[in-house]
Structure formats: C-alpha cells, structure tokens
C-alpha cells in the first residue's frame, strides 16, 4: 500500500513538471514579444554578404533602423536587430535565434534564405516571417517581398546605351539564377532600346561574396573594349569597382564606368588621382529595400501583417529608381530616362523579366 502511495505521488510530480515545462516552451516560442518591454520588435537575418555589404543587406538594415527611429526603439533585442550569416549553414540557426528572442517579425534577406525560412516558418506557425527577393506560398505567417528589378535595370540600360563610346557594355551577375537574369534582361533591353548596335557581354561570378572573382571578370571585359559594366553581384561586384578604379588610376584619361546596384554606390566609385578625387560610378539601380522593409514592419505593428501575400515594388510603387548621384549624366540622358520611366509606368513599354 505504501509503495502504491509513493508511486502516485511521483506520478503527480512528473505531471506537474511536464505541464510547467510545456507552459515555458509555449511562452518562449510565441510571437507576443512580451519579453521586449512591450515594444513591437523587428529583426533580419542576412545572407552571406553581411549587413555592411554596401548593397542589398545594408539597404534592408537601413529600413529596420528607420523603423526603429520612427518608433523610438533602440538597437538590440528590445527593438531592432540583425543576425549575420557567414554561410548558408547559419540561416536556420539565425532564424531560430530570432524566434527564441521573440521578435515580432523576422526578415530573411535574400533568395538564398528561401528554404530555411520555409522550414522554420512551418515549424513556428505563430511567428511572422518575410522572405525578401523570393516567393513562399501556402504559409499564412510568411509575406513575400519582391521587386521589379527589370524595370530599374531597363533605366540604367538606357543610360549605358546612350553613354557608351565603344558600343560595348558588360554585365556581371552573382550567379546564373532566375533573379539575376531578371536584372540582365531589363538591362539588355534598355541598352538596345536606345542603341540597337551596342553589344552586351554577360558573365556570372558564381559568388556574391568573392570580390576577386568580380575583379577578374571586369578585367577581361574592360580589356575587350567594354567601357561600362553593370553589376548585380553583391560583394563580388565590389571587385568590379576595384578593377575600374585601378584602370582609371593607370590611365586617368580613359572613360571607364561602373553601374552600381541595390543602393546608391556612388561612394564606391571614388578614386584618388594625384591630388584630385574622381568618380567612376556612372549611376546605380536603386532597389528601395529600405522603404519596403519599413513599410512591412509598420503594417505588422498596426496589426495588418500581410501574411500569405506577395508584395512587389516597382517604379509605380516608388520601390525602384536610379540613384540621386547624377553628375555624370547630361540633360539629354536624364530627359530620356524620365520619358522611358513614364512609358513603363503607363504600359507603353513592357520590360522583359527574362533574357
């Protein structure tokens, strides 16, 4: 009888422990943000390029910073935060860390995070996620943020087609993917729209992080007579700038240009020649990732998180533009860009999204 009483007591203790443990787990995995001082908190997980890639990730981070400043939040777990990925193996780990830290929205920045976001979102259905630059369907807790890169690429293609002296322009992509070919398709179409005789060379670095690969491709293209290169290669694209600046320093009279991507990369084109600072960034195709990220964060804060939706930002939505740094563009080129932009918006020009 005594043994039976002890067994019942032990069973009750185990049951209480299990219930308390379950309660603790549920609170940790929820999307309430109760451990964040009542703030609506946001976080992002970078791809391998890192938060300071001077391109896509950095623009997304600027959007989170702007959201934080708008709502008097501080950087950190009680406001806005980023988790840096060194490689693809970090994606799931960082997404899970953001969930455990109870951020209300977690942005996966870059199409490479698609499978990781999909997997974690399936496991954490009470949490809100955003995949940037790709589409995840069938999940009410995931919003898909995409851009009409081909429209902006068409505009910088128009600029390249009018500016080239050699009638040879180049394109350097990070990889041979559907997304990067979207950049190329718009660029080539824009060049041909104003300059049918121009040749467009295309090459892929096979990486978004190795700047030496970008520099090597740029060296080959510039040596073949190309005078303008448009890159969509993240950190590898910084190598294009490096090569162009080296060539400019060796031959200051040479007209050689780079077209930046994702954000205004004017500063990347500064090159010191003697006691003068010159610049080889012709223009940049700016994706307003910052604007879109801030928009979605505000939707979530207002209780309108667009879960299950595909949001696409283009010229009409002010999500795409050419950079404000325009000292290398004359009035004729700027007027043509404005004319083409209006025609794209009203449907007179249909920009291809595939080569």
1-5, 97-101, 149-153: the lowest-pLDDT one: 1-5
pLDDT the model gives residue 37:
72
Domains in the chain, please, with CATH?
A: 42-147+289-313 (3.40.50.2300), 149-286+325-345 (3.40.50.2300)
pLDDT the model gives residue 49:
82
Average pLDDT over residues 241-246: 98
d(CA 93, CA 89): 8
**Residue 178 neighbours by CB under 8 Å, 6+ apart:** 354
pLDDT the model gives residue 50:
86
Average pLDDT, the chain: 91
pLDDT value at 5 more than 70 = no
Q: Supply the DSSP string of 329-344, one letter for each residue.
A: --HHHHHHHHHHHHHH
Residue 36: pLDDT band (50, 70, 90) is: low
pLDDT per residue over 96-142, tens digit each? 999 999 999 999 999 999 999 999 999 999 999 999 999 999 999 99
Q: What element of type H or E holds 94?
A: helix 90-100
d(CA 244, CA 228): 9
Residues in the chain: 355
C-beta atoms surrounding 326 within 10 Å: 15
d(CA 265, CA 192): 24
pLDDT per residue over 166-208, tens digit each? 999 999 999 999 999 999 999 999 999 999 999 999 999 999 9
């Amino acid at each position: 009888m005594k043994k039976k009483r002890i067994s019942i007591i032990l069973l009750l203790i185990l049951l209480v422990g299990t219930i308390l443990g379950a309660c603790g787990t549920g609170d940790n995995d929820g999307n309430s943000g109760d451990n964040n001082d009542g703030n609506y908190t946001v976080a992002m997980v970078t791809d391998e390029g890192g938060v300071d890639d001077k391109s896509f990730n950095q623009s997304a981070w600027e959007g989170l910073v702007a959201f934080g400043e708008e709502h008097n939040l501080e950087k950190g777990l009680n406001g806005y935060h980023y988790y840096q990925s060194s490689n693809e193996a970090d994606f799931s780990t960082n997404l899970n860390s953001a969930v455990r830290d109870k951020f209300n929205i977690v942005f996966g920045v870059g199409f490479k995070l698609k499978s990781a976001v999909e997997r974690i979102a399936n496991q954490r259905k009470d949490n809100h996620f955003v995949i940037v630059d790709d589409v995840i369907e069938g999940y009410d807790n995931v919003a898909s943020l995409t851009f009409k890169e081909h429209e902006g690429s068409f505009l910088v293609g128009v600029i390249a087609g009018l500016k080239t002296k050699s009638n040879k322009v180049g394109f350097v992509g990070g990889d041979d993917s559907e997304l990067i070919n979207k950049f190329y398709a718009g660029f080539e179409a824009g060049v041909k729209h104003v300059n049918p005789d121009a040749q467009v060379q295309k090459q892929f670095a096979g990486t978004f992080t190795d700047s030496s690969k970008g520099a090597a491709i740029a060296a080959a293209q510039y040596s073949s007579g190309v005078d303008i290169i448009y890159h969509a290669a993240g950190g590898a694209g910084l190598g294009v700038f490096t090569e162009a600046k080296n060539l400019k320093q060796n031959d200051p009279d040479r007209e050689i240009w780079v077209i930046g991507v994702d954000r205004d990369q004017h500063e990347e084109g500064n090159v010191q020649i003697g006691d003068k600072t010159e610049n080889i960034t012709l223009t940049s195709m700016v994706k307003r990732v910052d604007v879109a990220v801030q928009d979605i964060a505000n939707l979530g804060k207002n209780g309108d998180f667009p879960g299950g939706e595909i949001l696409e930002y283009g010229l009409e939505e002010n999500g795409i533009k050419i950079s404000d740094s325009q000292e290398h563009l004359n009035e004729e080129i700027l007027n043509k860009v404005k004319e083409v932009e209006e025609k794209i918006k009203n449907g007179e020009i249909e920009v291809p999204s595939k080569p």
